[in-house]
Structure formats: C-alpha cells, structure tokens
C-alpha cells in the first residue's frame, strides 16, 4: 500500500510539473520531497494503527485461536513464549488509557475470552496477561490488545 501511495504522489507531481515550470526547480523539488515523506509517514502510521482492524476483518491473514461477538484472538507473529496469543477487542480503542465508563465492558469481554482460551489450550499450569500502553509501556500497535503468554515458566522479573 505504501509503495502505491508513493507512486501516486510521484504521478501527481509529474502531472502538475508543467504548470509549475515558473517556480524555481529547487523549491519545487524540495516541496515534492517533503510531501512525499509526509505521505509515506502517514501511510505507515495509518497502516500500523489499523493493522488489527484489518486482521479482524480478514484483510490481513492471521492464525485465529478464538472469536466471539466482541473479541478476536490470534497467534502473535513474533511469539515470546510457546503460547503467545493476542486478544483484541473488535471495537477500536487505542490503549488502556482510553477506557472510560462507556467502554469499560470491553475489559470484561477480554478477560472472559482469556479464560475460555486458557481452557481451550489446556493452560492448566498458568499464564500471564499483559497489555502495553504508550511509549513507556513499549506499545507498538495502537489498537488495544492483551498478550496471553504461557507454555513455559515465565520470568518473575516483570510483574
Ligand atoms: P505491542 O508491542 O504490545 O503493541 O504488541 C504488538 C504485537 O503485535 C507484537 O507482539 C507483534 O509481534 C504483534 N504483531 C504485529 N503484527 C502482527 C501480525 N500481522 N500478526 C500477528 N501479530 C502481529
């Protein structure tokens, strides 16, 4: 998608270039370059922000572990433990900081799903549920999600 965006900006730039011939070419090239970089940056930000929406919609493939009306859960692409499932609400909220009185029931749907997944995967020796929020929390995908980790003895260092 980003490559398409870049090529469309390049095409637009080429189409308009004859009309802008009176403008100093250095200024024109500088502006084109800045527009290109901004377009590229925002297409990446948009792609990452809505990555999990696209996974839920089936537009990006995933290995589904569990699904109900409110929640979609799938295997993490870069597992940190033998079992590493991401539990994602179908409603898009950015992170844990965005819970409020109106949407707090999302949290109960997540934990109910986690309990069902734990039974489904026979995680009888226990598991950990983590949600990263913001920069200090090392959140990379800005659609709230809960990591369900298990399958080995986890480190006691973090929580
Ligand atoms: P966080 O760093 O807490 O925002 O977690 C984001 C998680 O999403 C990371 O553990 C990534 O490995 C995972 N991830 C990113 N893209 C995909 C994908 N296409 N399919 C499955 N997991 C993904």
For ligand 1, the distance from its centroid to the CA atom of residue 113, given in whole angstroms, is: 18
Position 102 scores a pLDDT of 96
- The three-state secondary structure class of 13 is helix
Q: Is the CB of 61 under 6 A from ligand 1?
A: no
* Ligand 1 atom closest to residue 78's alpha carbon, by position in its atom list: 12
* Helix/strand/coil for 128: strand
Distance 89 CA to ligand 1 centre (A): 14
Can you give the pLDDT at residue 100? 97
Sites in the chain below the pLDDT cut of 50:
1
* Radius of gyration of the CA atoms of the chain, in A: 21
Q: What is the pTM of this model?
A: 0.78
Structure tokens at 40: 């590229």
Q: Who contacts 49 (Cβ-Cβ below 8 Å, separation ≥6)?
A: 141, 142, 143
CA of 5 to the centre of ligand 1 (A): 24
Per-residue model confidence (pLDDT) at position 119:
98
Nearest CA to ligand 1 atom 17: 77
CB-ligand 1 contact for 140 (6 Å cutoff): yes
Active site residue 145: yes
Residues 71-117 pLDDT 10s: 999 999 999 999 999 999 999 999 999 999 999 999 999 999 999 99
In this predicted structure, what is the pLDDT of residue 33?
86
pLDDT value of position 80:
96
Which pLDDT score, from 0 to 100, does residue 9 have? 62
The pLDDT value recorded for residue 105 is: 96
Among protein residues, the one with the nearest Cα to ligand 1's atom 18 is 77
């Amino acid at each position: 998608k980003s490559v398409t965006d870049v090529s469309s900006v390049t095409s637009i730039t080429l189409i308009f270039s004859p009309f802008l011939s009176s403008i100093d070419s250095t200024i024109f090239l500088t502006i084109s370059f800045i527009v290109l970089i901004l377009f590229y940056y925002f297409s990446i930000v948009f792609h990452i922000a809505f990555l999990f929406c696209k996974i839920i919609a089936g537009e990006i493939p995933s290995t589904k572990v569990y699904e109900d009306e409110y929640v979609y859960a799938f295997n993490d692409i870069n597992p940190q433990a033998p079992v590493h499932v991401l539990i994602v609400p179908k409603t898009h909220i950015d992170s844990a900081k965005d819970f409020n009185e109106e949407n707090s029931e999302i949290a109960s749907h997540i934990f109910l799903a986690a309990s069902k997944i734990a039974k489904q995967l026979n995680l009888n020796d226990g598991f950990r549920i983590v949600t990263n929020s913001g920069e200090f929390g090392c959140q990379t995908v800005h659609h709230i999600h809960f990591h369900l980790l298990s399958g080995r003895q986890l480190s006691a260092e973090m929580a």
